[in-house]
Amino acid sequence: MASEKDRKDRYDVAIVGAGPAGAASASLLARSGWRVALLDKATFPRDKPCAEYLSPAAEPLLRELGVLDSLLAIHPGRLRGFRIYAPNGRVFQGDFAATRDANGHSYFETGLAVPRLRLDAALVQTATAAGAELREDWRLAQLTRDADGWTLTPSGEREPVRARLLLAADGVHSTVARRLNLHIPTRMRKVALVAHMRGIAGLADYGEMHVANRRYVGLAPLESPDSGEHGDLCNVAMVVDEARDGRRLAGRPQDFLIETLASFPRLRGRLDHLTIVRRTLTISRICVKARRRSDDGMLLVGDAGGYYDPFTGEGIYRALRGAQLAAQVANAALEHDDLSANILAQYEHLLRAEFRGKRTVERIIQAAVQAPPLMNHIAAIMNRRPAMADTVVAVTGDFLPASAVLRPGYLLRLIV
């Protein structure tokens, strides 16, 4: 039986990882009155390898969390949609504003491009303002569970953190998931390389996705015209196959990134004045699958709960929405003092209902990326039928259900 002192020292929730999923979960749970410890190995602000694009549907979630105004104050990039470039150079464009409700009003007109240095710091600040206790430079050394909850022991001389409920939000390489044997190895081994650059010619207020040689690269302009800066700061995020390109990029990711950019047909001739503003960051093995995302006293939130492929660019939205669902289930479980696997499994059910269709769309897109003739064919169809392009961009923008592109009629028109 826990002593009175143990109960006072124990948090209601310990969250490992203070990225968007963890910080958003911390804000929501702290606002509900729970005592929350937010733990991260980094100190903030800090950079992360990320495409730094937020799909349009993320904006209401940021507003609810109370960070949207501070992010808009830095004049982030506003993306009106995406231009997709096939291996043969053919391009099609999808516009967010083209998708309208029954009254003829656009659901959303733009997505955002925000550096993770700013986004994560804003979310962490909001979490601490809500009452969450942040512990930075905190690395998990040991994880144990008993009848009263979890004990998380950090490296160094720091005191352990004890909590009734554990949320693992520490990314695709989650230490918590690994310790609990919850991640499953996958066959797809991808490496992402991300840098901030200036001098790419022809940038506009659209994101760009270029596909060639079974690789792809995304461009997300990070500055709005009224930012007061040069106006051409761009996030460049390339994804390559580890088996194919691993040796070439080992030890020289920045050189590899610059060299490989010119292999995309519609980027040639646009790179003459390229400069690196922030060094290239890398992350490997970004595809991960979880055996389950809930268990006794535990939830996996954000990328720790599984990640397939970043082409569709909704990772931050998924993290924020997943945090909402995790907080909803955690609140109910804590209120009823029942943190059993059966109760927390509701989180898993909600996630599947929310994102099952998007997973299917991701797999279809990845198949097209790996089959250049198919990607070229799809680009030709979309170019002739712009309404289809608007629809798929709205689905990847998270404000139109995946069923809009998975219905037989839509798929049939991709073939003929």
pLDDT of 345 > 60? The answer is yes
The answer to whether residue 142 is domain-embedded is: yes
Total domain count for the chain? 1
CATH of the domain at 301: 3.50.50.60
Of 70, 77, 166, 61, nearest to 125 by C-alpha is: 70
The answer to whether residue 136 is domain-embedded is: yes
Res. 1 pLDDT band, cuts 50 70 90: very low
Q: How far apart are CA 353 and CA 295, in angstroms?
A: 18
For residue 167, CA distances in Å to 34, 122, 181, 201 come to 13, 20, 15, 43
> pLDDT tens digits for 129-181?
999 999 999 999 999 999 999 999 999 888 999 999 999 999 999 999 999 99
Task: For 367-391, give one letter per residue: b (16+ CB within 10 A) or e.
Answer: ebbeebebbbbbbebbbeeeebbbb
Of 114, 122, 74, nearest to 226 by C-alpha is: 74
pLDDT of 229 reads 54
Give all strands of the β-sheet with 77-79 in edge-to-edge order: 53-54, 111-113, 77-79
Q: Tokens 């922030």 belong to which residue?
A: 278
The answer to whether residue 265 is domain-embedded is: no
pLDDT of 185 reads 80
Averaged pLDDT, 244-269: 93
pLDDT of 96 > 50? The answer is yes
Task: Classify burial at 223, counting beta carbons within 10 Å of its beta carbon; exposed 0-12, middle 13-18, buried 19 or more.
Answer: buried
The answer to whether residue 226 is domain-embedded is: no
The answer to whether residue 178 is domain-embedded is: yes
Of 314, 348, 342, nearest to 328 by C-alpha is: 348
Of 2, 43, 60, nearest to 321 by C-alpha is: 60
The answer to whether residue 120 is domain-embedded is: yes
* Sign of the dihedral through C-alpha 101, 402, 390, 237: positive
Among the listed ranges 94-98, 214-218, 263-267, 285-289, which one has the minimum average pLDDT value? 285-289
pLDDT of 116 > 80? The answer is yes
The answer to whether residue 33 is domain-embedded is: yes
**Coil, helix or strand for 55?**
coil
The answer to whether residue 171 is domain-embedded is: yes
Averaged pLDDT, 324-337: 98
Contact 237, 218 (CB under 8 A): yes
> pLDDT tens digits for 305-319?
988 777 877 789 999
> pLDDT tens digits for 382-392?
999 999 999 99
Averaged pLDDT, 44-50: 94
The partner residues of 167 in beta bridges, in order of sequence, read: 15, 299
